Structure 1
């Protein structure tokens, strides 16, 4: 029941936004679309890095430095399971972020707080 109301609300809101943008003409509409396309691309790039690459590298580091030397004998070659390494990396990335936020005020903590405060619209990938 509520899903239909959300869809009706989203269509109404989208129509109101489109009507407001259409008053500015085609150039204003295209400029607004280009702005939102750039924001979406930046958000996708940041999401790919923060949700995919960083946890994967963290999980692989943990696997290659700690787990494989203890688990795999020297005569055998290790088998890496990338999804497991990524999942462990997500867990350890969350732990590192929590420890960073609980720790003293330093550059990494300020960067995380700034990214949280700025949100998607004012995202600074530097």
Structure 2
């Protein structure tokens, strides 16, 4: 597929709705699980804590894929949030979930949304995903 320089507002709205739908399902699942908790919350909280980064790492992959054909010219290489998403996804898919350096993108962790540094393990939580979404 050729690179895309613009997306229709309808497409953007559909993507946004898809993400909100996934978030709502996650939030409902966590809320329902917490309501079913007996006196010992430790196993349930550990299960939710284990599930959360898996879910939100996959959500960032889905978000990136929705716009995977975006033009690199449009995206630029100045360390913006689009670059950050691309680098997070590259780390998840090609570097065993650890952030790696990219010679083509000038991403300064101190100025990025999630502050992930080279070598950090990518373990997104709900707040991280919402910040970058």
Q: TM-score, normalized by length of structure 2?
A: 0.32
Q: 1 or 2, which has the higher helix percentage?
A: 1
Larger radius of gyration: 1
Q: TM-score, normalized by length of structure 1?
A: 0.33
